[in-house]
Amino acid sequence: MEGDELALRQVRRVTRAARLRASLLTLWRIFRANPLTLVGFILVVLITGTTLVVWIVPTVSPFLVGHAVSVLPYPPNADVAGSYLPPSASHPFGTDDFGRDVFTRVLAALPIDISIGLSITLFSLLLGGGLGLVSGYWDTPRTLGGAVSVTILRVTDVFLAFPSLVLALAIAASLGRSFGDAVFAIAATWWPFYVRLVRGEVLAVKTAPYVTAARAAGLSNGKILTRHIVRNILEPIVVYYTLDVGSVLIAFSTITFIGLGVPPNIPEWGNMISDYSSFLTSDPWPTIFVGGAVFVTVLAFSLLGDGLRDVLDPRSRRALAVTAVSAGAAPGSAPLS
């Protein structure tokens, strides 16, 4: 018996390893067929990795070495050289009007901007997605669930009646100029998109034969939602979430650009562009490099989200894999059937 169990475990390990190799091979073929997806993936890994290093090292180092250790080249708010020096080996992005190293300030702003983009989008996904699940699954007329669904949709329509960025600016300006007010303003206006997205996907899935069979088998609504509905609507939600990180980042940078949310002495891409734009004609490189950081970050998440759509969709995944194999075949070889 023990020998049979060991053999069974070995077979399972070999099977899991074979599936992992097949998945990695398919993923590599997709990257070969769509190089922009690979570019977006690499950029996101580099950006998030740099963000974690800039944030974690100063936080953890006091407990390890007894004092804070910074990975930044210079202190973000220190005058390290002359004002508006051009890019050089010691200052890759040049310096600003106070002699501060622009490259250092761009890196110092990473934890704030990336965490805002990821956290607000996650909050909107959880809140809007939960409301979308309720309004889509219990959308039955003349029932309590139907009344709740209609209420959720009407409140959602009220928020969607206004452009989200304009509404966020109005809320942030009315609440105050603090960081928390800006975060609350964006979070309060971003969730309705996920309500509509998740509700539409739930309405399309809840009438599928496997959901009907689960109801006939006596499964509870909770098990049907978690096992059959949520699992089958993850693809568009994950793709939209990834694409939406860049949108939230632009919205937050816009709010800070007009002087709301972040104090001037705290490095953040929006308020940095606002400070440097006054010297755009005479000394353009600080504005160009900070704006380039925003552009590259948004582009990276957009490319990754577009690639995830192909990776998560089985039909697109098979098509891209076949394309990559066909492209890598010898010119004289027969095409794949």
Percentage of the chain with pLDDT > 90?
A: 42
Q: Phi, psi (5° rounding) for residue 95?
A: -125, 165
pTM assigned to the model: 0.83
Averaged pLDDT for residues 210-226: 87
Query: Hey, what CATH class is 109-322 in?
Result: mainly alpha
Could you read off the pLDDT of 157-205 as tens digits, one per residue?
A: 999 999 988 999 999 888 887 888 899 999 999 999 999 999 999 998 9
In the chain, where the domains are located? 109-322
Q: What is the pLDDT of residue 334?
A: 47
Are 229 and 67 a contacting pair, CB within 8 Å? no
**CB-based contacts of 217, cutoff 8 Å, min separation 6:** none
Percentage of the chain with pLDDT > 70?
A: 89
Q: What is the pLDDT of residue 133?
A: 92
Q: What is the pLDDT of residue 116?
A: 93
Assign 232 a pLDDT band (cuts: 50, 70, 90).
confident
How high does pLDDT run on average in the chain?
85
pLDDT for residue 1 is more than 60: no
pLDDT for residue 278 is more than 70: yes
pLDDT for residue 337 is more than 50: no
Q: What is the 3-state secondary structure (H, E, C) of 121-185?
A: HHHHHHHHHHHHHHHHHCCCCCCHHHHHHHHHHHHHHHHHCCCHHHHHHHHHHHHCCCHHHHHHH
Could you read off the pLDDT of 65-111 as tens digits, one per residue?
A: 877 788 899 999 888 888 888 899 999 999 998 899 999 999 999 99
Q: What is the pLDDT of residue 48?
A: 94
Averaged pLDDT for residues 199-216: 89
Could you read off the pLDDT of 105-139 as tens digits, one per residue?
A: 999 999 999 999 999 999 999 999 999 999 998 88
Closest C-alpha among 163, 207, 215 to residue 189? 163
Assign 21 a pLDDT band (cuts: 50, 70, 90).
confident
Q: What is the pLDDT of residue 335?
A: 47
Measured between alpha carbons, how far is residue 77 from residues 10, 88, 106, 230, 258 in Å?
A: 58, 19, 12, 47, 21
Could you read off the pLDDT of 22-77 as tens digits, one per residue?
A: 767 766 776 777 788 888 889 999 999 999 999 999 888 888 887 778 889 999 98
Averaged pLDDT for residues 289-315: 85
Assign 317 a pLDDT band (cuts: 50, 70, 90).
low
Query: Helices marked H in the chain — which ranges?
Result: 2-33, 35-65, 102-137, 144-160, 164-175, 179-190, 192-205, 209-216, 221-224, 234-257, 269-276, 285-312, 314-328
